[in-house]
Chains A and B, each alone.
Chain A
């Protein structure tokens, strides 16, 4: 075997951490000064690697490590313990939020669809005016076709299809009922009310001097401080 071969064996023996050498390698070392020098250098190198790596990982652990970890764990645990009994409240709050969001979105979609202007947009037939306010959910379903009518949260109302339906804002509902009641009494006035008002023209402004006769000016009496 060449010196190169023996050197490979030497390195393998040192890398595997064996403390003994094979008989043939040991014999070669006794005979070859060059390989002996190489071996000694490698022993030194592996020793240095081991000691440096050991020093690298056996650094003193900071005393603050465990207290800091415990404090962080307590931080993690604390909210869990506080929140657990309040899940009912959270669920109710979430439900209220969802309902209000739905209401806000519905109002927005109604506004977008131009349905909030129902009193002016609706065509009124004086003969058939039975008013029937739709429930909000049903109104939303009418506006949004993606909503499934079979949704459990919706209130279903069976109504004849020939009855006209009017969508009005909640706050205008009462006024609209009164308006509808008035139609049967005075249809002409009601029809006139639904027509848009003529635009107002700006009239020229006249400026004139104001003359006041018999105007008497009295000075204010000084106060004690003055």
Chain B
């Protein structure tokens, strides 16, 4: 005699053992992605924070968060983009709180005055250029900034960035164009 089981439409009955094996399977799948995506999360975080220790902490937290919610991810193919966004957002949050702290601590310090404006060539080789570039990047809109960082990571083409973020190739190109143009305007 066949056993009849009442279930809700569209719902699959999952027993404890099945849930256990599902958890193990998702753990295994996450582990497979970890080796590739861990460095990516770190680099995105580093691009925002420019501090290896902070970037490592953020990457770690982002990966842990991704692990906890891995089961809820509908399309595993989107994992990289998802992780990148988590890492980017967490890094921005940390950067903002650090900035607020820094502002509180240094608000009474006098600002340095420049003697003369340097040329573009002089600027490009100086450490001041780095500071100005970082400041200019911080002022970029988040979506431009993320594309700029991802496109600069070694081994990632614009097609891959497009696939990672789930946006059309034309959008990637235009965001990159505006990001670079805005940076150049601020550094000129």
Q: Enumerate chain A interface residues (CB-CB to B < 8 A).
A: 11-12, 14-17, 41-42, 44-50, 52-54, 56-59, 61-62, 64-66, 68-70, 72-73, 76-77, 80, 84
Cα separation A44 to B124 with both chains bound (whole Å): 8
User: Smallest distance from the beta carbon of A219 to chain B beta carbons, Å?
Assistant: 82
Known contacts A15-B177, A65-B56, A70-B34; A53 and B39 CB within 8 A of each other: no
Is B92's beta carbon under 8 Å from chain A?
no
Known contacts A57-B149, A61-B43; A52 and B56 CB within 8 A of each other: no
Known contacts A44-B120, A69-B60; A57 and B47 CB within 8 A of each other: yes
B1-9, B161-169, B179-187 - the one binding chain A? B179-187
Cα separation A57 to B27 with both chains bound (whole Å): 28
CB-based nearest B residue for A48: B124
Question: Which residue of B46, B120, B152, B173 is within 8 Å of A41 (Cβ)?
Answer: B120
Known contacts A48-B124, A66-B34, A76-B64; A56 and B184 CB within 8 A of each other: no
Is B90's beta carbon under 8 Å from chain A?
no
Cα separation A130 to B188 with both chains bound (whole Å): 100
B97-133: contact bitstring with A at CB < 8 Å (1 yes, 0 no)? Answer: 0000000000000000000000111001100011001
Cβ of B44: which chain A residues have Cβ within 8 Å of it?
57
Cα separation A47 to B47 with both chains bound (whole Å): 18
Q: Enumerate chain B interface residues (CB-CB to A < 8 A).
A: 16, 20, 23, 27, 30, 34-35, 38-39, 42-44, 46-47, 50, 52, 55-56, 59-60, 63-64, 67-68, 119-121, 124-125, 129-130, 133, 137, 148-149, 152-154, 173, 176-178, 180-181, 183-184, 187-188
Extra contacts, 18 of them, besides A44-B121, A49-B184 (Cβ < 8 A), are: A12-B177, A14-B180, A15-B180, A41-B119, A49-B183, A52-B130, A56-B46, A57-B43, A57-B46, A58-B153, A58-B154, A65-B42, A65-B60, A66-B34, A73-B30, A73-B64, A73-B67, A77-B27
| Contact, CB under 8 Å: B60 / A76 | no
9 pairs, CB–CB < 8 Å, chain A vs chain B: A45-B187, A50-B152, A58-B153, A66-B34, A69-B34, A70-B34, A76-B67, A76-B68, A77-B27
Cβ of B188: which chain A residues have Cβ within 8 Å of it?
45
Cα separation A83 to B125 with both chains bound (whole Å): 59
Cβ of A54: which chain B residues have Cβ within 8 Å of it?
152, 154
Known contacts A57-B153, A65-B39, A69-B38; A48 and B129 CB within 8 A of each other: yes
CB-based nearest B residue for A52: B133
Question: Which residue of B59, B133, B153, B187 is within 8 Å of A65 (Cβ)?
Answer: B59
Known contacts A59-B46, A61-B43, A73-B64; A45 and B56 CB within 8 A of each other: no
Cβ of B119: which chain A residues have Cβ within 8 Å of it?
41
| Contact, CB under 8 Å: A66 / B46 | no
